[in-house]
Amino acid sequence: MELLRLSKAANRLGVHPVTLRLWADSGRIPVTWVGRERRFSSVDVEAMKVTAGGGDRVRLEGLYVRVSGATGQESSLEAQESELRAAATGEVVKVFKDRGSGLREDRPGLNKLLAAVADGSVTVVRVTHEDRLARFGVGWLRRLCAVHGATVEVLHPKKTGGRQELLEDFISLVTTFAGRLYGMRSADARRRLLAESGQCPQPQDAG
Cβ-contact 64, 125 below 8 angstroms: yes
Alpha helices in 53-135 (DSSP H): 74-86, 108-118, 130-133
> Distance between terminal CA atoms of the chain?
72
CB atoms closer than 10 angstroms to residue 4: 20
Domain end, chosen from 23, 38, 56, is at: 56
pLDDT at 83: 94
Of 154, 149, 132, 6, nearest to 73 (Cα)?
Answer: 132
Angle at 169 (CA atoms; ends 164, 175), nearest 5 degrees: 125
- 205 occurs within a structural domain: no
Give tens-digit pLDDT for 94-115.
999 999 888 788 899 999 999 9
Tell the burial category of 202 from Cβ atoms under 10 Å away from its Cβ (0-12, 13-18, 19+): exposed
Q: Give the structural domain span for 173.
A: 162-199
**pLDDT tens, residue order, the chain (207 aa):** 789 999 999 888 887 788 788 788 877 788 899 988 999 988 888 877 755 554 445 688 999 999 987 665 678 999 999 999 998 888 899 999 999 888 788 899 999 999 999 988 899 999 999 889 987 788 889 888 888 888 888 888 754 455 666 666 677 667 666 666 666 666 666 677 667 666 555 555 544
Tell the burial category of 18 from Cβ atoms under 10 Å away from its Cβ (0-12, 13-18, 19+): middle
pLDDT at 66: 94
Q: Where are the beta strands (DSSP E) in the chain?
A: 3-5, 32-34, 37-41, 60-67, 91-99, 124-127, 151-154
pTM for the full predicted model: 0.55
pLDDT at 81: 95
Q: Which residues pair with 161 in a beta bridge?
A: none
Judge if 191 and 143 occupy the same domain: no
Give tens-digit pLDDT for 75-97.
899 999 999 999 888 889 999 99
Helix (H) or strand (E) holding 200: none
Judge if 114 and 138 occupy the same domain: yes
pLDDT at 151: 86
Judge if 96 and 148 occupy the same domain: yes
CATH at 94? 3.40.50.1390
pLDDT at 54: 45
Rg (CA), the chain: 24
Tell the burial category of 73 from Cβ atoms under 10 Å away from its Cβ (0-12, 13-18, 19+): middle
CATH at 32? 1.10.1660.10
pLDDT at 197: 66
Number of domains in the chain: 3
